[in-house]
């Protein structure tokens, strides 16, 4: 370690006044954090202020970047405990308080660009002489951030590695064979570990006291296991998911093995996905097939449809079978199987299967399962002996359960629970024994009427999806899930009361309430300080929209399409008929809003405020199917407006001057609009131009139709994807359909 600390000292350039970012990169377990901590402890006294942020990746996903921003300033005693801010404000606070201070900051285990940008944006944030050390597995992340000094932590040299391995493998020499007799095997293990300290320790300790033949067989299994798992099951899958599923199994070090396979060009990673060349994948398939060419039930992995069904029909699976992956895209029909189909597969760790029936029940499943993905599970219960305490993912789409079995209630390793489409399920289970859950999905469980209160204790939950649970009426009185990023209640047509929101809900990014029966939102919605998307489309009973919504600093997309509730008393804005919509406070506060959808809200003249200038970031404004005759002149002050949608505003008579940024105005069926004929180019207030499309019918002249389709293709951007893209694409298809039918053309299948 001394030599590495000396090298890092040279990189630090102590005494020089420039601001330096220094990266330490290498695979997991290589001692990056240890090296950074030694450097921090040895040199932090040379800086006026200092902070060591450990596990940045994990903390940011569970608690959010705001917590890390606060920790930096708290470590430096530059933050009042009463201060609260959102992540954007946090950037300004760090920059303003540290720009004249010589600081030493360590950001340990960074894995996303946003983490660097929000915690240590650039050298202008810090005072002369500052040093920011970043440890990461991703060297490209460092180079993209402009980090020019990168220390590549390549692990231990051969001599050091052999010494560490031997300490673990022979710390009790009397219990094993002569170490000298195992020297060649020791070198093989050290070569496999490639200087990786953690791997050397784990491997060494696992071989303590074992015979030479055990050493040989264990070495053969290493790495080959990961290569074959990816070839047979995980090609194209997310790397983090694969690591989660395989970590903790015997003789498997997934993070290390994946990095080793990448180093040996047997695997590539693109966009966090694992990709293996088709020739290498076929080689992996052939290796497995050759294990027992004539006996599929003796092989370690099964992925071919016909072989899987043969093994299950004949009950020929053995203890050698580790994984079964039956693709749902394979041609198949429902198979009727024997209750003992899985009884001999005691080491089964991965199963993905569908469309199999057990009319006489199912007697056994492996307790070693880490992935259980079973679509169309036909039974209302599971085998009594099944205790799947190692499950990481439980995915049972369209199951037949009325309620979940007791064996699913105490799964402390479980990260994903997905029972989508299980239409018989009446209530969720008690989640008290599933504290590691990150993704909870009950989409399309149409009879589900109750969510167990224990959901409030799932502090690692990132996604909660209850879409189209049409019988669900509510959630626990208060939700305070500190890690939750996405909450989906779309289509829960009986859901009429949104719960109170706790102060820990600072990391919710997207909230989908479209198609619910809610009448109001709680004032505590102000706690959602990181919310970027709020979808209230089709909330026809929405009566009260709290004014505090306008102080959500991060909100970028707000959808109120089809909200026509009848307000009992005057409120911030009212939706209904007669309708007077007054939104000065709302508009003035939503400075981050990029897309606003107020379509089909029965808006009359005066509903929109005269002053819209507060919407300084707005790029897309959707006002389709409303009843005003004019628009506020202040639209010209929307300095970033690109898209304006006015279809079916049949009473609209005049358009105001629009800003020079405007690229596209859609105004079909605006039959009262004066001075604009179909598809005219109009000048903006700043001298630019945009196109007005004022079609009087969908089936107009064929050249107009084709021109409209062309304009959609040219001008439409994905900005409004959440709220308008599907509608616009549908209209485009209608135009094409009309044109083709008029000329007796035939659709091309695609």
Q: What is the pLDDT of residue 357?
A: 82
**pLDDT at 381 exceeding the cut of 60:** yes
**pLDDT at 689 exceeding the cut of 90:** no
Q: What is the pLDDT of residue 370?
A: 96
Which of 261-265, 416-420, 454-458, 576-580 has the least mean pLDDT?
A: 576-580
Buried b / exposed e along 378-391 (16+ C-beta atoms within 10 A): beeebbeebebebb
CA–CA separation, 405 and 353 (whole Å): 19
Which of 92-101, 213-222, 472-481, 500-509 has the least mean pLDDT?
A: 213-222
Q: What is the pLDDT of residue 739?
A: 35
pLDDT confidence tier of residue 602, bands split at 50, 70 and 90: confident
Q: What is the pLDDT of residue 127?
A: 95
Q: What is the pLDDT of residue 580?
A: 39
pLDDT digits (tens, 9 = 90+) for 236-289: 999 999 999 998 766 677 887 888 788 778 899 988 899 999 888 998 899 899
Contact 318, 297 (CB under 8 A): yes
**pLDDT at 61 exceeding the cut of 90:** no
CA–CA separation, 641 and 664 (whole Å): 9
Q: What is the pLDDT of residue 587?
A: 67
Percentage of the chain surpassing pLDDT 70?
83
Q: What is the pLDDT of residue 713?
A: 37
Q: What is the pLDDT of residue 230?
A: 95
**Which run of H or of E encompasses 311?**
helix 305-314
Cut 0.85: pTM above it: no
Contacts of 41 (CB under 8 A, 6+ apart): none
DSSP-derived 3-state class of residue 129? coil
**pLDDT at 556 exceeding the cut of 90:** yes
Q: What is the pLDDT of residue 581?
A: 38
The DSSP secondary-structure symbol of 749 reads: P
Mean pLDDT of 313-331: 83
HEC states along 163-184?
HHHHHHHCCCHHHCCCHHHHHH
Mean pLDDT of 384-407: 93
Mean pLDDT of 51-78: 91
Q: What is the pLDDT of residue 334?
A: 67
Looking at the chain, the number of H-run helices and the number of E-run strands are 19, 29
Strands 416-418 and 273-275 turn out to be: unpaired
Mean pLDDT of 391-413: 93
Q: What is the pLDDT of residue 50?
A: 95
CA–CA separation, 414 and 459 (whole Å): 13
Q: What is the pLDDT of residue 273?
A: 93
DSSP-derived 3-state class of residue 199? helix
**Highest-pLDDT range among 62-66, 457-461, 577-581:** 457-461
Beta strands in 419-509 (DSSP E): 439-441, 463-465, 478-479, 486-488, 500-501
**pLDDT at 494 exceeding the cut of 50:** yes
Mean pLDDT of 403-425: 94
pLDDT confidence tier of residue 691, bands split at 50, 70 and 90: low
Mean pLDDT of 633-660: 91
**Burial class of residue 279 in the structure, from the number of CB atoms within 10 Å of its CB (0-12 exposed, 13-18 middle, 19+ buried):** exposed
CA–CA separation, 572 and 584 (whole Å): 9
pLDDT confidence tier of residue 354, bands split at 50, 70 and 90: confident
Strands 595-597 and 557-559 turn out to be: parallel
Contact 300, 228 (CB under 8 A): yes
Contact 237, 229 (CB under 8 A): no
Higher pLDDT residue, 736 or 618? 618
pLDDT confidence tier of residue 684, bands split at 50, 70 and 90: low
Q: What is the pLDDT of residue 179?
A: 65
**Domains, the chain, with CATH or none:** 2-152 (3.40.50.300), 158-221 (no CATH), 224-289 (1.10.10)
**pLDDT at 26 exceeding the cut of 90:** no
**Which run of H or of E encompasses 1?**
none
**pLDDT at 692 exceeding the cut of 80:** no
Mean pLDDT of 223-238: 92
pLDDT confidence tier of residue 618, bands split at 50, 70 and 90: very high
pLDDT confidence tier of residue 178, bands split at 50, 70 and 90: low
Largest Cα span, the chain: 99
CA–CA separation, 497 and 518 (whole Å): 5
Mean pLDDT of the chain: 83
Contacts of 406 (CB under 8 A, 6+ apart): none
Q: What is the pLDDT of residue 589?
A: 77
Q: What is the pLDDT of residue 79?
A: 86
pLDDT digits (tens, 9 = 90+) for 181-214: 788 888 888 887 777 787 788 788 888 888 888 8
pLDDT confidence tier of residue 744, bands split at 50, 70 and 90: very low
| Long-range CB contact pairs, 664-671, < 8 A, 24+ | 664/690, 664/691, 664/711, 664/715, 664/716, 665/690, 665/691, 665/692, 665/693, 666/693, 667/692, 667/693, 667/694, 668/693, 668/694, 668/695, 668/698, 669/695, 669/696, 669/697, 670/646, 670/694, 671/696
CA–CA separation, 539 and 592 (whole Å): 23
**pLDDT at 40 exceeding the cut of 70:** yes
**pLDDT at 13 exceeding the cut of 80:** yes
**pLDDT at 48 exceeding the cut of 60:** yes
């Amino acid at each position: 370690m001394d030599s590495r600390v000396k090298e890092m000292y040279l990189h630090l350039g102590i005494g020089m006044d420039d601001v330096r970012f220094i990266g330490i990169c290498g695979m997991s377990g290589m001692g990056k954090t240890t090296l950074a901590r030694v450097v921090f402890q040895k040199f932090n006294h040379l800086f006026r202020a200092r902070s060591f942020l450990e596990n940045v990746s994990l903390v940011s996903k569970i608690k959010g970047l705001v917590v890390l921003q606060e920790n930096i300033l708290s470590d430096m005693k530059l933050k009042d405990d009463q201060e609260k801010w959102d992540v954007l404000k946090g950037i300004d606070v760090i920059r303003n308080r540290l720009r004249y201070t010589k600081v030493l900051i360590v950001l340990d285990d960074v894995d996303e660009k946003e983490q660097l940008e929000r915690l240590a944006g650039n050298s202008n944030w810090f005072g002369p002489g500052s040093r920011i050390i970043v440890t990461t597995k991703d060297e490209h992340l460092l180079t993209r951030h402009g980090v020019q000094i990168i220390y590549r932590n390549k692990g231990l040299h051969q001599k050091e590695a052999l010494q560490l391995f031997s300490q673990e493998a022979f710390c009790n020499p009397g219990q094993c064979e002569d170490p000298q007799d195992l020297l060649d095997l020791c070198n093989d293990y050290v070569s496999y570990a490639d200087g990786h300290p953690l791997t050397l320790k784990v491997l060494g300790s696992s071989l303590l006291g074992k015979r030479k033949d055990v050493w040989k067989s264990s070495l053969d299994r290493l790495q080959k296991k990961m290569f074959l798992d990816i070839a047979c099951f995980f090609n194209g899958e997310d790397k983090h998911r694969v690591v989660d599923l395989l970590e903790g199994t015997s003789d498997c070090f997934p993070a290390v093995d994946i990095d080793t396979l990448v180093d040996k060009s047997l695997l590539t990673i693109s966009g966090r996905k694992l990709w293996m060349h088709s020739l290498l994948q076929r080689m992996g398939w052939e290796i497995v097939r050759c294990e027992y060419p004539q006996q599929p039930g003796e092989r370690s992995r099964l992925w071919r449809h016909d072989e899987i069904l043969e093994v299950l029909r004949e009950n020929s699976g053995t203890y050698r079978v580790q994984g079964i992956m039956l693709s749902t895209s394979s041609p198949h029909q429902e198979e009727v199987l024997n209750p003992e189909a899985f009884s001999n597969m005691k080491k089964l760790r991965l199963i993905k299967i569908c469309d199999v029936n057990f009319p006489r029940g199912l007697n056994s499943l492996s307790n070693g399962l880490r992935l259980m993905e079973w679509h169309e599970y036909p039974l209302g219960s599971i085998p009594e002996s099944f205790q799947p305490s190692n499950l990481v993912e439980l995915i049972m789409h369209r199951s037949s359960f009325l309620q979940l079995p007791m064996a699913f209630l105490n799964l402390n390793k479980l990260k994903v629970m997905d029972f989508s489409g299980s239409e018989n399920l009446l209530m969720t289970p008690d989640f008290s024994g599933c504290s590691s859950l990150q993704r909870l999905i009950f989409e399309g469980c149409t009879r589900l009427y109750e969510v167990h209160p224990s959901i409030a204790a799932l502090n690692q939950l990132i996604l909660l999806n209850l879409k189209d649970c049409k019988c669900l009426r509510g959630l626990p009185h208060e939700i305070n899930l500190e890690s939750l990023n996405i909450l989906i209640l779309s289509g829960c047509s009986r859901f009429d009361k949104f719960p109170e929101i706790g102060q820990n809900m600072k990391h919710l990014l997207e909230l989908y309430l479209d198609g619910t029966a809610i009448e109001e939102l709680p004032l505590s919605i102000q706690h959602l300080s990181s919310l970027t998307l709020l979808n209230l489309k089709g909330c026809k009973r929405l009566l009260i929209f709290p004014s505090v919504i306008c102080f959500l600093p991060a909100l970028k997309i707000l959808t109120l399409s089809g909200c026509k509730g009848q307000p009992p008393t005057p409120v911030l804005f009212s939706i209904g008929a007669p309708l007077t919509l007054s939104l000065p406070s709302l508009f003035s506060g939503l400075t981050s809003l990029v897309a606003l959808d107020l379509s089909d809200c029965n808006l009359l003249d005066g509903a929109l405020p005269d002053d819209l200038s507060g919407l300084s970031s707005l790029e897309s404004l959707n006002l389709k199917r409303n009843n005003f005759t004019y628009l506020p002149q202040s639209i010209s002050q929307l300095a970033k407006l690109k898209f304006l949608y006015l279809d079916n505003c049949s009473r609209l008579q005049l358009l105001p001057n629009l800003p020079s940024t405007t690229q596209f105005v859609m105004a079909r069926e605006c039959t009262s609009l004066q001075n604009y004929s179909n598809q005219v180019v109009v000048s903006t207030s700043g001298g630019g131009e945009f196109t007005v499309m004022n079609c009087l019918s969908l089936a107009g002249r064929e050249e107009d139709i084709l021109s409209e389709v062309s304009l959609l293709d040219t001008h439409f951007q994905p900005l409004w994807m959440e709220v308008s893209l599907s509608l616009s694409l549908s209209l485009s298809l209608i135009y094409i359909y009309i044109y083709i039918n008029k000329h007796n053309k035939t659709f091309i299948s695609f």
